Amino acid sequence: MKRLLHIILLALLLPMVPSASSGQVPSDGFTVVDTSVVASLLTCSPGEEIYELYGHTAIRMRWTEARGDSAFTYDAVFNFGVFDFNQPHFAWHFTLGECNYIVAPALTSQFLMEYERRGSSVTEQVLALRPYEAVGLLHALDSVSRPENRTYLYNIFRNNCTTKARDIIEESIYGKVRYAVQPQRNTFRTILHEFTEGHPWAREGNDLLLGATVDTAITERDEMFSPIYMMHYADGAFIDADQLGMRPLVAERRELLGANPERQAAVAARQSSIPLTPAVVGWGVLVLGLLIALWEWRCGRVCWPVDAVLMTLQGLAGVLLTFMALFSQHPGVASNWQVWVLNPLPLLFVPFVLRADIRGERCMYHRFAVLWLGAFVVLYFILPQHFSQIILPLALLLLSRAIVHLLTPTKS
């Protein structure tokens, strides 16, 4: 899954968390023998993999459980971010937005090992729950982590590891959780950009596949899809229990793991990366294309292999964007104005364009392309979407190809 077609929606995934063995977390029902249940919200800082860039959220529970004549104390994390690359047809279902995630309990020590390995910090916010609320949350987590209940349909913005944790905590509280109102409105894209700073190709994948709906202002609750934003909102939240009064949601905040910059740097060094940014690649290819077009115009003939490569790549990218827009349930992909430039139509016209190129004739396709691409370039700055960095130079390159065909003399 690490390089699936929809690279943006990998952002909130986590590596498979191993299940507990010795001192295993119970998953078949249990009886709490005292009311000293402590619940915490855990927030893990971003890592270097595509699916680690936005961080992660989980719930930590500490309780004593009776089994027979004995009592055992547990310290467990309930993780809503477990997935399996090896499940049948995983890539296909993920592309369609039908990716199932699993709620899995693990011992806290096991959970922390993964973040210590990659050098990420883990922040704990101990929740100010009343005893009956904490016990209710523990039983709710036990229920949703059972084999018959643990699978859920993942949605990066509406139903992910962070929103699931938030929702089950809220459902266990007697009263209403009230979060601070923010004067400034973000969009889903601005939050995604915030966490892909320093990862230009991950950002480019996001911007290429996500459309205009992620550029509209969102609410405070929408912002909580991000683990880091959820952590900050929890810090300022209060529980309104009517006649029982108000109390902070978070009783204490502490750091379970500190960030390790040296380890983070070592992990980053092992990641493959492209040395050039998307903007440099896009404008560099445009300059090269214009030089080729100038040579073609001066020589009075077009280079058909250039058309073959560009139109094929344009059409294949268009197939991907169009397929996502029409059939995928992923949020934000159905309103993508970039389909104006990247669409499947060039694939249908490749044979006709190449035949005309070889014969030294003009093709009606180029007149159509000048109008269609020229209109996009003119409207580029007013269309209601943030575009990928390569889309404008690509549109100009394709427009230049169409213009040079119209300007090149035909064979008599």
pLDDT at 15 over 80: no
Phi, psi dihedrals of residue 266, rounded to the nearest 5°: -65, -40
The model's pTM is: 0.85
Burial class (CB in 10 A: 0-12, 13-18, 19+), 275: exposed
pLDDT at 253 over 90: yes
What's the full length of the chain, in residues? 412
Spatial CA neighbour of 2 closest among 197, 159, 202, 178? 202
105-160 residue pLDDT tens: 999 999 999 999 988 999 999 999 999 999 999 999 999 999 999 989 888 899 99
Q: How far apart are CA 231 and CA 67, in angstroms?
A: 35
**pLDDT level of residue 18 (50, 70, 90 thresholds):** very low
263-290 residue pLDDT tens: 877 777 677 777 889 999 999 999 999 9
Give the pLDDT confidence score for residue 20 in this predicted structure.
30
Residue whose token pair is 């009230």: 178
54-87 residue pLDDT tens: 999 999 999 887 666 777 788 999 999 887 666 6
CB of 51 within 8 A of CB of 14? yes
Q: Which of 88-97, 291-300, 324-333, 390-399 has the lowest mean pLDDT?
A: 88-97
- Residue 187 makes CB contacts below 8 A (sequence gap 6+) with 214, 215, 216, 217, 218
224-233 residue pLDDT tens: 999 999 999 9
Residue whose token pair is 């029982």: 244
Give the pLDDT confidence score for residue 127 in this predicted structure.
97
Give the pLDDT confidence score for residue 86 in this predicted structure.
66
CB of 25 within 8 A of CB of 67? no
Q: How far apart are CA 309 and CA 304, in angstroms?
A: 9
**Tokens encoding 95:** 């592309």
**Tokens encoding 358:** 């070889």
Residue whose token pair is 């009075």: 300
86-103 residue pLDDT tens: 666 666 666 677 778 889
Give the pLDDT confidence score for residue 191 in this predicted structure.
96
**Tokens encoding 255:** 């750091």
